[in-house]
């Protein structure tokens, strides 16, 4: 069953809504709204929009605004990114508010005690579920990489693709076991089901079709949720609603769908 992410919520005890009303829907810089989806004394999470870098990077010298900077401005204090999301990936992005909290979050991620779930729209019909065990090169070293997925929904639309009279797509739930650079993107390309809007790992013909036909050029990969215990014995479940672009893409697929 497809989860309802058009208005997600987060859980984890009475502290989960601390300062939420004060922060939600604020915009610290033009065209970059910051939506706080969880906050307590130690942690804060936002629904990162597509195109926003987590922090400064030499490989993206064109960027002038960063999630780390915006969250620091929002809270008025120093914060630490607990993990990373690609610039083109939207969804749950977690920050720690203290060095102590940061050390604990890094341990949880390192020991794989945090369950990360993503959703993606990919080319073609995937299997109902699958496991990808395919090493990836990270920092010039071949490293093990494992990704699980299951199909939530399939679409066939009345638009020709290649030699076919229609185009097929799948909405996937993806659970990475490891955290390599561009792991989900590379793994989906490896099994010939690239993510729509992905460059350079995606399908150029599909990306061109979506840009020209639907004026969509954003990558359809969304970090849906994080689930973990913090502190021990207190389970947190933080979810991020789909971005508007992700919602629009699903509507397009539904509108053009074939019976």
Residue 86: active-site member: yes
Beta-bridge mates of residue 29: 32
Long-range Cβ pairs for the range 250-254 (8 Å, 24+): 250/121, 250/171, 252/157, 252/214, 252/216, 253/121, 253/155, 253/157, 253/169, 254/155
- Active site residue: 21, 42, 86, 138, which one? 86
Beta-bridge mates of residue 147: 132, 176
Active-site residue numbers?
Answer: 86
């Amino acid at each position: 069953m497809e989860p309802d992410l058009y208005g997600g919520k987060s859980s984890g005890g009475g502290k989960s809504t601390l300062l939420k009303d004060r922060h939600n829907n604020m915009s610290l810089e033009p065209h970059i709204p910051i939506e706080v989806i969880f906050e307590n004394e130690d942690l804060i999470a936002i629904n990162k929009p597509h195109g926003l870098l987590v922090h400064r990077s030499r490989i993206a010298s064109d960027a002038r605004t960063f999630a780390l900077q915006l969250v620091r401005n929002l809270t008025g204090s120093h914060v630490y990114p607990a993990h990373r999301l690609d610039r083109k990936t939207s969804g749950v992005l977690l920050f720690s508010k203290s060095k102590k909290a940061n050390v604990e979050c890094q341990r949880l991620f390192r020991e794989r005690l945090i369950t990360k779930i993503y959703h993606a729209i990919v080319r073609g019909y995937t299997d109902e579920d699958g496991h990808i065990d395919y090493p990836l090169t990270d920092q010039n070293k071949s490293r093990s990489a494992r990704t699980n997925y299951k199909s939530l929904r399939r679409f066939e639309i009345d638009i020709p693709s290649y030699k076919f009279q229609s185009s097929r797509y799948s909405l996937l739930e993806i659970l990475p076991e490891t955290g390599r650079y561009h792991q989900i993107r590379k793994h989906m390309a490896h099994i010939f089901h690239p993510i729509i809007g992905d460059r350079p790992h995606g399908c150029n013909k599909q990306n061109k079709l979506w840009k020209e036909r639907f004026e969509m050029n954003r990558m359809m990969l969304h970090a849906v949720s994080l689930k973990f215990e913090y502190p021990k014995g207190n389970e947190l479940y933080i979810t991020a609603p789909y971005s508007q672009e992700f919602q629009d893409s699903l509507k397009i697929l539904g509108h053009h769908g074939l019976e």
